[in-house]
Amino acid sequence: MRYIIKIFPLFVALMIVSCAKDPEMSKARIYTGDATDIIGTNAIVSGEVIVNDNATVYERGICWNTSGIPTTDGNHSKATLSGNSFSVSIGGLTINTTYYTRVYVIDENGTYYGNEKTFTTTDELYPDIRTKNVSNITKNSAISGGVVVFGGNPMVDERGICWAKTHNPTIENTHISNGVGVGDYICDITGLQSNSTYYVRAYTKCNETGKVFYGEEKSFKTQN
C-alpha cells in the first residue's frame, strides 16, 4: 500500500505534463482583425499570428458564428501559412445579421484562438459578374464582354469591360460600356499594339453607391 502511495504523485505529475498545451504555441500572439468590405452576404476578416520560431503551425484561419465564441467545430475558413498577417473572405452570410469572428491556429498539440470581434452585414448584395473569353484577336483589336448573372442590391446601372497591359485593369484604365442590368453583352477592344499582352475584366457599376465590381481576369496577346 505504501508503494502505491509513493508512485501516485509521480503518476499525477506525468499526467499534468502530457496534458499541457504546447509551450511554444502558448507564446504565440494571435490577433483577430476588424471585418472589412462588408456587403450583404460577404465580408473579409483579417488576422495576425506571431509564433515562436520553434512552433510549427499546421493550419490557421477564421471561424465565425452568430452566437459568440466561434470555434472550428462550426463555420471556418483556412488561410495561407505564409507571413504573419493574412485575410480570409467569408461568404454565405445572412443580411442584417451580427457575426462573431476569431482567428484560430492549429498545431500538433491543439487549437488556439485569438480575441473575438463582431461585425454586422448590410442590406447590400454583390452582383455576380463574369468575364467572357477573348476572341477575334488581330494586331490591334479583339472582342470580349461579360455576363451579369445577378445585378446586386442596389441594382448596377452600368456594365462593360476594361483592359490594360498590366494585371487587374480597372475603369481607370481604358474601358468601354455596353448596356445596363442583367444579361449577356460583348464589346470591341480597339487601339491595341501588335505583339503585346493585354489583360481584360468585365465590370459593373452601381451609381447609387458609386461602387464598381469586376469579373475574373482574362489575358490575350495581339498578333505580330
Is-same-fold flag (21-120; 128-221)? yes
pLDDT computed for residue 16 by the predictor? 39
Arithmetic mean of pLDDT, 23-42: 80
User: For residue 149, what is the enclosing H or E element?
Assistant: strand 141-150
Answer whether residue 184 shows pLDDT above 50: yes
Query: How far is Cα 96 from Cα 108, in angstroms, rounded to an integer?
Result: 38
- pLDDT class of 6 with cuts at 50, 70, 90: very low
Is 19 a residue whose pLDDT tops 70?
Answer: no
- The pLDDT of residue 216 is 97
Query: Which pLDDT belongs to residue 25?
Result: 54
In percent, the amount of the chain with pLDDT more than 90 equals 71
| Residues in contact with 34: Cβ distance below 8 Å, sequence separation at least 6, in sequence order | 45, 46, 117, 119
pLDDT exceeds cutoff 80 at 149: yes
At residue 124 the predicted structure's pLDDT band, cuts being 50, 70 and 90, is confident
Whether the per-residue pLDDT at 2 is higher than 60: the answer is: no
Of the candidates 146, 123, 165, 141, the one whose C-alpha atom is nearest the C-alpha of residue 205 is 146
Q: What whole-number distance in Å separates Cα of residue 151 and Cα of residue 213?
A: 10
**DSSP reduced 3-state for 8:** helix
pLDDT digits (tens, 9 = 90+) for 200-214: 999 999 988 899 999
Q: What's the whole-number average pLDDT of the chain? A: 88
Q: What confidence tens digit (pLDDT) does each residue in 64-121 have?
A: 999 999 999 999 999 999 899 999 999 999 999 999 999 999 988 889 999 999 999 9
Domain residue ranges of the chain, discontinuous segments joined by +: 21-120, 128-221
Give the range among 25-34, 132-141, 143-152 with minimum mean pLDDT: 25-34
- The cell for 167 is 494585371
Contacts of 140 (CB under 8 A, 6+ apart): 190, 191, 192, 193, 194, 222
Q: Is the predicted pLDDT of residue 11 greater than 50, yes or no?
A: no
Query: Is the torsion defined by CA of 107, 113, 114, 120 positive or negative?
Result: positive
Show the cell assigned to 108. 500538433
Which CATH code is given to the segment(s) 21-120?
Answer: 2.60.40.10
Nearest to 88 by CA among 102, 98, 99, 68: 102
| Domain 128-221 in CATH 2.40.50.1020 | no
Lowest mean pLDDT: which of 53-62, 70-79, 181-190?
A: 53-62
Which segment of 37-41, 51-55, 66-70, 176-180 scores lowest on mean pLDDT?
A: 51-55
Report d(CA 45, CA 214) in Å as an integer.
20
